Chains A and B, each alone.
Chain A
Amino acid sequence: MEYHHVSAKNGVADENQNAEKLSHIEKAYTTILSELGEDVKREGLLRTPLRAAKAMQFLTKGYKETIQDILNDAIFDENHEEMVIVKDIDLFSLCEHHLVPFFGKAHIAYLPNKKVVGLSKLARIVEIYSRRLQVQERLTKQIASAIAEALEPAGVAVVIEAVHMCMVMRGVQKMNASTVTSVMLGSFNDNAETRKEFLALTMQK
Protein backbone atom coordinates (compact mmCIF):
# COMPACT_ATOMS: atom_id res chain seq x y z
CA MET A 1 0.00 0.00 0.00
CA GLU A 2 1.42 3.32 -1.01
CA TYR A 3 -0.54 5.74 1.06
CA HIS A 4 1.55 8.12 3.09
CA HIS A 5 0.98 8.45 6.78
CA VAL A 6 1.04 12.14 7.52
CA SER A 7 2.28 11.17 10.95
CA ALA A 8 5.14 9.10 9.52
CA LYS A 9 6.79 12.23 8.24
CA ASN A 10 7.38 13.47 11.74
CA GLY A 11 9.62 10.62 12.80
CA VAL A 12 10.18 8.93 16.08
CA ALA A 13 8.05 11.10 18.32
CA ASP A 14 4.94 10.10 16.48
CA GLU A 15 5.90 6.46 16.47
CA ASN A 16 6.08 6.49 20.23
CA GLN A 17 2.76 8.21 20.37
CA ASN A 18 1.26 5.58 18.11
CA ALA A 19 2.61 2.77 20.24
CA GLU A 20 1.15 4.42 23.31
CA LYS A 21 -2.23 4.82 21.68
CA LEU A 22 -2.15 1.20 20.59
CA SER A 23 -1.55 0.04 24.11
CA HIS A 24 -4.42 2.18 25.41
CA ILE A 25 -6.75 0.65 22.89
CA GLU A 26 -5.43 -2.79 23.73
CA LYS A 27 -6.14 -2.28 27.42
CA ALA A 28 -9.61 -1.06 26.59
CA TYR A 29 -10.28 -4.26 24.66
CA THR A 30 -9.06 -6.36 27.55
CA THR A 31 -11.58 -4.57 29.76
CA ILE A 32 -14.30 -5.14 27.20
CA LEU A 33 -13.61 -8.86 27.01
CA SER A 34 -13.70 -9.33 30.73
CA GLU A 35 -16.79 -7.16 31.15
CA LEU A 36 -18.59 -9.30 28.58
CA GLY A 37 -17.98 -12.25 30.86
CA GLU A 38 -15.34 -13.97 28.80
CA ASP A 39 -12.19 -15.52 30.18
CA VAL A 40 -9.33 -13.34 28.94
CA LYS A 41 -6.80 -16.01 29.79
CA ARG A 42 -8.13 -18.71 27.52
CA GLU A 43 -6.00 -19.60 24.57
CA GLY A 44 -8.16 -18.14 21.82
CA LEU A 45 -8.45 -14.77 23.53
CA LEU A 46 -4.90 -14.28 24.83
CA ARG A 47 -3.78 -11.95 22.07
CA THR A 48 -7.19 -10.78 20.97
CA PRO A 49 -6.93 -7.32 22.56
CA LEU A 50 -3.82 -6.61 20.52
CA ARG A 51 -5.29 -8.03 17.34
CA ALA A 52 -8.56 -6.18 17.82
CA ALA A 53 -6.70 -2.93 18.51
CA LYS A 54 -4.63 -3.29 15.37
CA ALA A 55 -7.70 -4.26 13.37
CA MET A 56 -9.49 -1.17 14.61
CA GLN A 57 -6.53 0.99 13.69
CA PHE A 58 -6.52 -0.52 10.22
CA LEU A 59 -10.23 0.05 9.82
CA THR A 60 -9.78 3.73 10.69
CA LYS A 61 -6.54 4.33 8.82
CA GLY A 62 -8.30 6.85 6.59
CA TYR A 63 -7.82 9.52 9.24
CA LYS A 64 -4.12 9.57 8.61
CA GLU A 65 -4.32 9.92 4.86
CA THR A 66 -4.89 13.05 2.85
CA ILE A 67 -6.19 13.54 -0.66
CA GLN A 68 -3.14 15.58 -1.62
CA ASP A 69 -0.84 12.69 -0.91
CA ILE A 70 -2.55 10.34 -3.27
CA LEU A 71 -3.67 12.62 -6.01
CA ASN A 72 -0.92 15.12 -6.55
CA ASP A 73 0.85 13.37 -9.32
CA ALA A 74 -1.97 11.55 -11.07
CA ILE A 75 -3.93 14.41 -12.64
CA PHE A 76 -3.42 14.62 -16.37
CA ASP A 77 -4.45 17.07 -19.05
CA GLU A 78 -6.66 15.24 -21.53
CA ASN A 79 -9.01 16.65 -24.07
CA HIS A 80 -11.86 14.41 -22.97
CA GLU A 81 -15.28 15.65 -22.01
CA GLU A 82 -17.32 12.46 -21.97
CA MET A 83 -18.44 10.70 -18.82
CA VAL A 84 -15.87 8.61 -16.99
CA ILE A 85 -17.33 5.98 -14.66
CA VAL A 86 -15.65 3.66 -12.19
CA LYS A 87 -18.27 1.38 -10.72
CA ASP A 88 -18.56 -1.52 -8.27
CA ILE A 89 -15.80 -0.24 -6.02
CA ASP A 90 -15.95 -2.48 -2.92
CA LEU A 91 -16.27 -0.34 0.14
CA PHE A 92 -15.88 -1.18 3.83
CA SER A 93 -16.53 1.26 6.60
CA LEU A 94 -17.50 1.43 10.26
CA CYS A 95 -20.78 2.83 11.48
CA GLU A 96 -19.88 5.64 13.87
CA HIS A 97 -22.93 4.97 16.00
CA HIS A 98 -22.36 1.32 16.84
CA LEU A 99 -18.78 0.68 15.73
CA VAL A 100 -20.05 -2.16 13.56
CA PRO A 101 -19.11 -2.56 9.88
CA PHE A 102 -21.12 -1.52 6.89
CA PHE A 103 -20.03 -2.48 3.42
CA GLY A 104 -21.14 -2.28 -0.16
CA LYS A 105 -20.24 -0.75 -3.46
CA ALA A 106 -19.53 2.74 -4.64
CA HIS A 107 -20.12 3.97 -8.18
CA ILE A 108 -18.36 7.16 -9.20
CA ALA A 109 -18.68 9.22 -12.35
CA TYR A 110 -17.33 12.56 -13.45
CA LEU A 111 -17.39 14.76 -16.53
CA PRO A 112 -13.82 15.96 -17.04
CA ASN A 113 -13.09 19.55 -17.79
CA LYS A 114 -9.73 19.19 -19.45
CA LYS A 115 -8.32 17.29 -16.48
CA VAL A 116 -8.63 13.55 -15.88
CA VAL A 117 -7.45 11.58 -12.88
CA GLY A 118 -5.77 8.18 -12.69
CA LEU A 119 -8.61 5.68 -12.36
CA SER A 120 -7.33 3.90 -9.32
CA LYS A 121 -7.22 7.25 -7.55
CA LEU A 122 -11.00 7.29 -7.49
CA ALA A 123 -10.90 4.00 -5.60
CA ARG A 124 -8.21 5.38 -3.31
CA ILE A 125 -10.39 8.37 -2.50
CA VAL A 126 -13.13 5.93 -1.53
CA GLU A 127 -10.64 4.12 0.70
CA ILE A 128 -9.47 7.27 2.46
CA TYR A 129 -12.96 8.32 3.43
CA SER A 130 -14.44 4.92 4.08
CA ARG A 131 -11.72 3.74 6.45
CA ARG A 132 -13.10 5.99 9.19
CA LEU A 133 -15.98 6.10 11.60
CA GLN A 134 -18.64 7.14 9.16
CA VAL A 135 -22.21 7.90 8.35
CA GLN A 136 -23.12 6.79 4.82
CA GLU A 137 -24.52 10.18 3.83
CA ARG A 138 -21.38 11.99 4.88
CA LEU A 139 -19.14 9.44 3.21
CA THR A 140 -20.89 9.93 -0.11
CA LYS A 141 -20.61 13.68 0.12
CA GLN A 142 -16.95 13.61 1.12
CA ILE A 143 -16.03 11.49 -1.87
CA ALA A 144 -17.91 13.76 -4.24
CA SER A 145 -16.43 16.93 -2.76
CA ALA A 146 -12.90 15.56 -2.88
CA ILE A 147 -13.18 14.80 -6.58
CA ALA A 148 -14.84 18.15 -7.28
CA GLU A 149 -12.07 20.06 -5.50
CA ALA A 150 -9.22 18.12 -7.04
CA LEU A 151 -10.33 18.13 -10.65
CA GLU A 152 -12.85 20.96 -11.00
CA PRO A 153 -14.85 18.82 -13.41
CA ALA A 154 -18.11 19.72 -15.11
CA GLY A 155 -19.93 17.31 -12.85
CA VAL A 156 -19.46 14.56 -10.28
CA ALA A 157 -21.81 11.78 -9.26
CA VAL A 158 -21.34 9.28 -6.44
CA VAL A 159 -23.74 6.49 -5.51
CA ILE A 160 -23.17 4.13 -2.61
CA GLU A 161 -25.24 1.04 -1.87
CA ALA A 162 -24.34 -0.59 1.38
CA VAL A 163 -25.52 -3.12 3.91
CA HIS A 164 -25.30 -2.03 7.52
CA MET A 165 -24.46 -4.78 9.96
CA CYS A 166 -25.94 -2.69 12.75
CA MET A 167 -29.31 -3.25 11.07
CA VAL A 168 -28.68 -6.84 10.07
CA MET A 169 -26.97 -8.34 13.09
CA ARG A 170 -28.88 -6.45 15.77
CA GLY A 171 -31.69 -3.97 16.21
CA VAL A 172 -34.33 -4.46 13.55
CA GLN A 173 -32.45 -7.47 12.10
CA LYS A 174 -33.48 -7.05 8.50
CA MET A 175 -31.22 -9.36 6.50
CA ASN A 176 -31.88 -8.05 3.04
CA ALA A 177 -32.20 -4.31 3.51
CA SER A 178 -29.58 -2.13 1.86
CA THR A 179 -29.11 1.64 2.00
CA VAL A 180 -28.53 3.74 -1.11
CA THR A 181 -27.20 7.30 -0.95
CA SER A 182 -26.17 9.55 -3.79
CA VAL A 183 -24.62 12.94 -4.38
CA MET A 184 -24.93 14.71 -7.74
CA LEU A 185 -22.83 17.79 -8.40
CA GLY A 186 -22.55 20.07 -11.41
CA SER A 187 -24.14 18.83 -14.61
CA PHE A 188 -25.23 15.62 -12.95
CA ASN A 189 -27.40 17.79 -10.77
CA ASP A 190 -28.57 20.23 -13.42
CA ASN A 191 -29.02 17.96 -16.37
CA ALA A 192 -31.54 15.15 -16.09
CA GLU A 193 -30.23 13.35 -19.16
CA THR A 194 -26.71 13.20 -17.81
CA ARG A 195 -27.97 11.83 -14.55
CA LYS A 196 -30.10 9.26 -16.33
CA GLU A 197 -27.17 8.10 -18.41
CA PHE A 198 -25.05 7.63 -15.30
CA LEU A 199 -27.74 5.73 -13.46
CA ALA A 200 -28.41 3.52 -16.45
CA LEU A 201 -24.77 2.65 -16.80
CA THR A 202 -24.18 1.88 -13.16
CA MET A 203 -27.38 0.66 -11.59
CA GLN A 204 -28.51 -1.78 -14.20
CA LYS A 205 -27.29 -5.27 -13.42
Chain B
Amino acid sequence: MDHSKQTQYSQNEKKDAGASSSVLNGHFDGMAKRPAGGTGRAATAAAAQPPGAESSSHRPAASVMESWREERTRSVEDNEMSLPSLAAAYTTILRGLGEDPQRQGLLKTPWRAATAMQFFTKGYQEKIIDVLNDAIFDEDHDEMVIVKDIDMFSMCEHHLVPIFGRVHIGYLPNKRVLGLSKLARIVEIYSRRLQVQERLTKQIAVAITEALQPTGVGVVIEATHMCMVMRGVQKMNSKTVTSTMLGVFREDPKTRDEFLTLIRS
Protein backbone atom coordinates (compact mmCIF):
# COMPACT_ATOMS: atom_id res chain seq x y z
CA MET B 1 0.00 0.00 0.00
CA ASP B 2 3.01 2.26 0.16
CA HIS B 3 2.73 3.47 -3.39
CA SER B 4 -0.67 4.90 -2.68
CA LYS B 5 0.72 6.81 0.22
CA GLN B 6 3.21 8.51 -1.99
CA THR B 7 0.76 9.60 -4.60
CA GLN B 8 -1.42 11.18 -1.97
CA TYR B 9 0.98 12.59 0.52
CA SER B 10 3.68 14.38 -1.39
CA GLN B 11 5.95 16.06 1.06
CA ASN B 12 6.34 19.28 -0.78
CA GLU B 13 6.46 21.94 1.82
CA LYS B 14 7.73 24.51 -0.66
CA LYS B 15 4.27 24.69 -2.10
CA ASP B 16 3.04 26.24 1.06
CA ALA B 17 5.02 29.40 0.52
CA GLY B 18 2.23 31.87 0.29
CA ALA B 19 2.43 32.01 -3.48
CA SER B 20 -0.28 29.42 -3.70
CA SER B 21 -3.19 31.75 -4.24
CA SER B 22 -3.99 29.76 -7.32
CA VAL B 23 -4.53 26.52 -5.46
CA LEU B 24 -7.79 25.02 -6.59
CA ASN B 25 -10.34 25.01 -3.87
CA GLY B 26 -9.99 21.73 -2.03
CA HIS B 27 -7.15 20.43 -4.14
CA PHE B 28 -5.17 18.22 -1.85
CA ASP B 29 -1.52 18.61 -2.68
CA GLY B 30 -0.94 17.59 0.89
CA MET B 31 1.81 18.11 3.31
CA ALA B 32 2.41 15.06 5.39
CA LYS B 33 3.93 17.06 8.17
CA ARG B 34 2.72 20.50 8.91
CA PRO B 35 5.13 22.85 10.64
CA ALA B 36 4.46 22.56 14.34
CA GLY B 37 1.56 24.74 15.33
CA GLY B 38 0.37 25.26 11.80
CA THR B 39 0.62 28.40 9.72
CA GLY B 40 -1.30 31.54 10.47
CA ARG B 41 -2.78 33.99 8.05
CA ALA B 42 -2.33 37.69 8.67
CA ALA B 43 -5.50 38.49 10.54
CA THR B 44 -7.18 41.60 9.25
CA ALA B 45 -9.22 41.88 12.39
CA ALA B 46 -8.49 43.50 15.69
CA ALA B 47 -7.26 40.16 16.98
CA ALA B 48 -3.70 40.75 18.03
CA GLN B 49 -1.55 37.69 17.56
CA PRO B 50 1.20 37.58 20.16
CA PRO B 51 4.47 37.91 18.26
CA GLY B 52 6.08 34.95 19.92
CA ALA B 53 3.38 32.44 19.06
CA GLU B 54 4.54 29.79 16.70
CA SER B 55 1.07 29.57 15.34
CA SER B 56 1.05 32.88 13.56
CA SER B 57 3.61 33.35 10.87
CA HIS B 58 2.41 36.57 9.33
CA ARG B 59 2.06 36.44 5.61
CA PRO B 60 1.57 39.44 3.39
CA ALA B 61 -2.12 40.15 3.08
CA ALA B 62 -1.76 39.83 -0.67
CA SER B 63 -1.66 36.07 -0.61
CA VAL B 64 -5.15 34.79 -0.09
CA MET B 65 -4.82 31.19 0.93
CA GLU B 66 -7.54 28.65 1.01
CA SER B 67 -8.66 28.67 4.58
CA TRP B 68 -8.60 24.91 5.00
CA ARG B 69 -4.87 24.99 4.98
CA GLU B 70 -4.50 27.34 7.87
CA GLU B 71 -4.49 26.94 11.56
CA ARG B 72 -5.33 30.30 13.06
CA THR B 73 -5.87 30.76 16.70
CA ARG B 74 -7.63 33.37 18.74
CA SER B 75 -7.21 33.74 22.44
CA VAL B 76 -9.79 34.23 25.13
CA GLU B 77 -8.61 37.82 25.46
CA ASP B 78 -9.25 38.45 21.77
CA ASN B 79 -12.79 37.27 22.28
CA GLU B 80 -13.37 39.50 25.27
CA MET B 81 -12.05 42.51 23.43
CA SER B 82 -14.34 41.87 20.50
CA LEU B 83 -17.48 41.48 22.57
CA PRO B 84 -18.51 45.16 22.80
CA SER B 85 -18.21 45.73 19.05
CA LEU B 86 -20.05 42.52 18.35
CA ALA B 87 -22.82 43.54 20.72
CA ALA B 88 -23.03 46.98 19.11
CA ALA B 89 -23.29 45.36 15.69
CA TYR B 90 -26.13 43.17 16.89
CA THR B 91 -27.93 46.18 18.33
CA THR B 92 -27.70 47.82 14.90
CA ILE B 93 -29.14 44.70 13.34
CA LEU B 94 -32.06 44.63 15.76
CA ARG B 95 -32.85 48.23 14.99
CA GLY B 96 -32.46 47.68 11.27
CA LEU B 97 -35.01 44.88 11.43
CA GLY B 98 -37.52 47.25 12.98
CA GLU B 99 -37.39 45.82 16.47
CA ASP B 100 -37.08 47.83 19.67
CA PRO B 101 -33.75 46.92 21.33
CA GLN B 102 -34.99 48.41 24.60
CA ARG B 103 -37.87 46.03 25.16
CA GLN B 104 -37.46 43.56 27.96
CA GLY B 105 -36.92 40.45 25.86
CA LEU B 106 -34.26 42.10 23.71
CA LEU B 107 -32.37 44.09 26.31
CA LYS B 108 -29.43 41.71 26.67
CA THR B 109 -29.87 39.99 23.33
CA PRO B 110 -26.91 41.72 21.66
CA TRP B 111 -24.59 40.32 24.31
CA ARG B 112 -26.16 36.89 24.24
CA ALA B 113 -26.09 36.77 20.46
CA ALA B 114 -22.47 37.94 20.40
CA THR B 115 -21.39 35.31 22.90
CA ALA B 116 -23.37 32.68 21.03
CA MET B 117 -21.69 33.63 17.75
CA GLN B 118 -18.29 33.43 19.38
CA PHE B 119 -19.18 29.97 20.64
CA PHE B 120 -20.24 28.94 17.14
CA THR B 121 -16.85 30.01 15.82
CA LYS B 122 -14.71 28.74 18.66
CA GLY B 123 -13.04 26.32 16.30
CA TYR B 124 -10.78 29.17 15.26
CA GLN B 125 -9.27 29.14 18.72
CA GLU B 126 -8.27 25.54 18.71
CA LYS B 127 -5.45 23.72 17.04
CA ILE B 128 -5.34 20.10 16.04
CA ILE B 129 -1.92 19.73 17.63
CA ASP B 130 -3.29 20.63 21.05
CA VAL B 131 -6.05 18.10 20.83
CA LEU B 132 -4.11 15.21 19.41
CA ASN B 133 -0.57 15.28 20.68
CA ASP B 134 -0.86 12.75 23.42
CA ALA B 135 -3.54 10.43 22.10
CA ILE B 136 -1.74 8.66 19.29
CA PHE B 137 -0.84 5.13 20.20
CA ASP B 138 1.18 2.42 18.55
CA GLU B 139 -1.08 -0.56 17.95
CA ASP B 140 -0.58 -3.43 15.64
CA HIS B 141 -4.03 -3.04 14.15
CA ASP B 142 -4.72 -2.77 10.48
CA GLU B 143 -8.46 -3.28 10.28
CA MET B 144 -10.91 -0.48 9.69
CA VAL B 145 -11.81 1.75 12.61
CA ILE B 146 -15.08 3.66 12.28
CA VAL B 147 -16.67 6.28 14.49
CA LYS B 148 -20.08 7.15 13.14
CA ASP B 149 -23.07 9.37 13.93
CA ILE B 150 -20.98 12.17 15.35
CA ASP B 151 -23.40 15.08 15.74
CA MET B 152 -22.05 18.11 13.99
CA PHE B 153 -23.11 21.77 14.18
CA SER B 154 -21.61 24.40 11.96
CA MET B 155 -22.43 27.81 10.46
CA CYS B 156 -22.95 28.40 6.77
CA GLU B 157 -20.38 31.00 5.75
CA HIS B 158 -22.67 32.43 3.12
CA HIS B 159 -25.73 33.21 5.21
CA LEU B 160 -24.52 32.86 8.80
CA VAL B 161 -27.28 30.33 9.48
CA PRO B 162 -26.74 26.93 11.16
CA ILE B 163 -25.86 23.69 9.43
CA PHE B 164 -26.29 20.50 11.42
CA GLY B 165 -25.95 16.84 10.73
CA ARG B 166 -23.82 13.80 11.33
CA VAL B 167 -20.27 12.89 10.50
CA HIS B 168 -19.03 9.36 9.89
CA ILE B 169 -15.30 8.77 9.97
CA GLY B 170 -13.38 5.64 9.08
CA TYR B 171 -9.66 5.01 8.81
CA LEU B 172 -7.28 2.12 8.25
CA PRO B 173 -4.47 2.47 10.77
CA ASN B 174 -0.89 1.94 9.75
CA LYS B 175 0.58 0.96 13.09
CA ARG B 176 -0.80 4.07 14.77
CA VAL B 177 -4.28 4.52 16.18
CA LEU B 178 -5.96 7.58 17.58
CA GLY B 179 -7.98 7.99 20.76
CA LEU B 180 -11.56 7.65 19.55
CA SER B 181 -12.90 10.81 21.07
CA LYS B 182 -10.16 12.70 19.25
CA LEU B 183 -11.95 12.01 16.01
CA ALA B 184 -14.98 13.76 17.44
CA ARG B 185 -12.80 16.58 18.69
CA ILE B 186 -11.35 17.07 15.22
CA VAL B 187 -14.90 17.35 13.95
CA GLU B 188 -15.64 19.98 16.61
CA ILE B 189 -12.60 22.08 15.81
CA TYR B 190 -13.42 22.34 12.13
CA SER B 191 -17.16 22.50 12.37
CA ARG B 192 -17.28 25.34 14.89
CA ARG B 193 -16.29 27.80 12.14
CA LEU B 194 -17.87 29.58 9.22
CA GLN B 195 -17.88 26.70 6.83
CA VAL B 196 -18.77 25.19 3.53
CA GLN B 197 -19.67 21.52 3.87
CA GLU B 198 -17.25 20.39 1.20
CA ARG B 199 -14.35 22.14 2.86
CA LEU B 200 -15.30 20.84 6.29
CA THR B 201 -15.26 17.25 5.05
CA LYS B 202 -11.87 17.69 3.46
CA GLN B 203 -10.36 19.42 6.49
CA ILE B 204 -11.37 16.60 8.78
CA ALA B 205 -9.92 14.00 6.44
CA VAL B 206 -6.70 15.91 5.95
CA ALA B 207 -6.22 16.44 9.68
CA ILE B 208 -6.53 12.74 10.40
CA THR B 209 -4.20 11.91 7.53
CA GLU B 210 -1.54 14.30 8.68
CA ALA B 211 -1.74 13.20 12.30
CA LEU B 212 -1.66 9.44 11.79
CA GLN B 213 -0.42 8.76 8.28
CA PRO B 214 -2.92 5.93 8.01
CA THR B 215 -3.37 3.71 5.02
CA GLY B 216 -6.59 5.44 4.22
CA VAL B 217 -9.25 7.77 5.58
CA GLY B 218 -12.92 8.16 4.71
CA VAL B 219 -15.19 10.93 5.95
CA VAL B 220 -18.88 11.25 5.11
CA ILE B 221 -21.06 14.14 6.27
CA GLU B 222 -24.84 14.29 5.92
CA ALA B 223 -26.24 17.61 6.97
CA THR B 224 -29.27 19.83 6.81
CA HIS B 225 -28.65 23.41 5.82
CA MET B 226 -31.03 25.84 7.48
CA CYS B 227 -30.29 28.33 4.71
CA MET B 228 -32.13 25.94 2.37
CA VAL B 229 -34.82 24.96 4.86
CA MET B 230 -35.76 28.24 6.54
CA ARG B 231 -35.34 30.53 3.55
CA GLY B 232 -34.55 30.48 -0.15
CA VAL B 233 -35.85 27.30 -1.74
CA GLN B 234 -37.41 26.16 1.57
CA LYS B 235 -37.04 22.46 1.10
CA MET B 236 -37.73 20.95 4.50
CA ASN B 237 -36.44 17.46 3.98
CA SER B 238 -33.41 17.96 1.84
CA LYS B 239 -30.05 16.74 3.05
CA THR B 240 -26.60 17.38 1.67
CA VAL B 241 -24.10 14.53 1.66
CA THR B 242 -20.39 15.07 1.05
CA SER B 243 -17.53 12.65 1.34
CA THR B 244 -13.77 12.61 1.18
CA MET B 245 -11.92 9.35 0.53
CA LEU B 246 -8.15 9.30 0.83
CA GLY B 247 -5.56 6.60 0.39
CA VAL B 248 -6.84 3.10 0.11
CA PHE B 249 -10.42 4.24 0.59
CA ARG B 250 -10.08 6.03 -2.71
CA GLU B 251 -8.07 3.38 -4.53
CA ASP B 252 -9.83 0.23 -3.45
CA PRO B 253 -13.55 0.01 -4.14
CA LYS B 254 -13.99 -2.90 -1.74
CA THR B 255 -12.64 -0.94 1.18
CA ARG B 256 -14.83 1.98 0.30
CA ASP B 257 -17.85 -0.30 0.03
CA GLU B 258 -17.15 -1.83 3.39
CA PHE B 259 -16.92 1.61 4.95
CA LEU B 260 -20.11 2.84 3.34
CA THR B 261 -22.01 -0.27 4.33
CA LEU B 262 -20.86 -0.14 7.91
CA ILE B 263 -21.87 3.48 8.38
CA ARG B 264 -25.27 2.80 6.97
CA SER B 265 -26.23 0.00 9.32
Contacts and interface: CB of A to CB of B under 8 A. Distances in A.
B116 to A, nearest CB: 5
B151 interface: yes
Interface residues of chain A: helix, strand, loop or mixed (majority): helix
Contacts of B44: 34, 39-41
Contact of B157 (A22, A48, A92, A96): A48
A28 B43 contact: no
The contact size tier of chain A is 35 or more
Interface in A26-65: 27-29, 31-45, 47-48, 51-53, 55-60, 63-64
B92 A25 contact: yes
A28 B93 contact: yes
B216 to A, nearest CB: 29
Interface stretch (B139-147, B179-187, B228-236, B242-250): B228-236
Interface size class of B (residues with CB under 8 A): 35 or more
B117 A32 contact: yes
Contact of A35 (B85, B95, B159): B85
Interface in B87-118: 88-90, 92-99, 105-106, 108-109, 112-113, 116-118
B154 to A, nearest CB: 9
A65 B73 CA distance: 44
B64 A165 contact: no
A56 B97 contact: yes
B41 interface: yes
Nearest to B199: A44
Interface of B: 41, 43-47, 64, 67, 72, 74, 78, 82, 85-86, 88-90, 92-99, 105-106, 108-109, 112-113, 116-121, 124, 151, 153, 157-162, 164, 194, 196, 226-227, 229-231, 236
17 contacts: A24-B95, A25-B92, A29-B93, A31-B89, A35-B85, A36-B45, A37-B45, A39-B43, A40-B44, A44-B67, A45-B157, A51-B159, A64-B98, A96-B109, A135-B105, A165-B153, A165-B162
